[in-house]
Amino acid sequence: MLLEGKVAIVTGAAGNLGSACACEIAKEGAKVVITDLPGTGLEAIADRIREDCGEVALHEADLASEKDVKALVRSAIEEFGGIDVLVNVAAFMQGIDKDRDLLTMSSEYWDKAMAVNLRGTMLCCKHAIPTMLERGGGAIVNFGSTAGILGDVGLFAYSATKAALLSLTRSIATTYGKQGIRCNSVCPGSVWTVATKDMMPASMLEMMTRTRLTPRLGLPEDVAAMVAFLASDKAEYVTGQTFMVDGGGTAHQPWVRME
């Protein structure tokens, strides 16, 4: 197993991507601490992971709160003895209509996106890295997005946070690499989740499928497989990089016709 003997924290674990990552990492032998906001159904996710995947503990937290993040890291250390892997999936995107137009978007919405997506990820890294260093190193996987790579009509706050995370990833990899810390980003694109289904009209989903270089849209499990690899020692020579998990969507010009 890729992650046998490791301890991992997975944020945003109540969502489709986070729960898939937590389950895949547990299947690969790691002990996993899952976290998300209170009232998001973490207990049900934990039960499913225990039944189908492996060993898990849960800790509810608001990642925009440094106090909550400190408590999360403490709980992982108390439960499993330390932290080897950190997977930062948690993200805030509360309805595409609220992020569609810069001229009408509220400053409060922008600040909330920054607080969760960027500050929350930074805080998790800030407080997890010291215990990783005590254990001789560790692996961090941050969740960017293809929205942080390519321009879009809308998604101003979300895209800005995801682009900033890619820079944070490189800075962490550069600063702590010689001390055994690896940090990479994955950028999912056109991945079929409950949020995708709720947000996207059928015509857009059809267009997204047509413009992939693969026969189908992605699944959370596709992203989770990449995350598990990057978290493992198999990727020990890979750091500071950004990986598109998007069915080739960012690999070609948009006017190339796919049959």
Residues labelled catalytic: 158
Which has the closest alpha carbon to 117: 74, 147, 138? 147
Sole residue written with tokens 């500050």: 119
The span from the CA of 228 to the CA of 24, in Å, is: 7
* Type and span of the H or E element at 58: strand 56-58
Q: Residues for the chain: how many in total?
A: 259
The span from the CA of 18 to the CA of 224, in Å, is: 8
Both tokens assigned to 247: 């069915």
Which has the closest alpha carbon to 239: 183, 186, 187? 183
C-alpha atoms less than 13 angstroms from C-alpha of 8 in its C-beta half-sphere: 38
- In angstroms, how far is CA 154 from the centroid of its own chain? 21
How far are the Cα atoms of 12, 84, 98, 116 from residue 30, in angstroms, in the given order?
A: 18, 9, 38, 26
Q: Which three-class secondary structure string do you get for 78-138?
A: HHHCCCCEEEECCCCCCCHHHHCCCCCCCHHHHHHHHHHHHHHHHHHHHHHHHHHHHCCCE
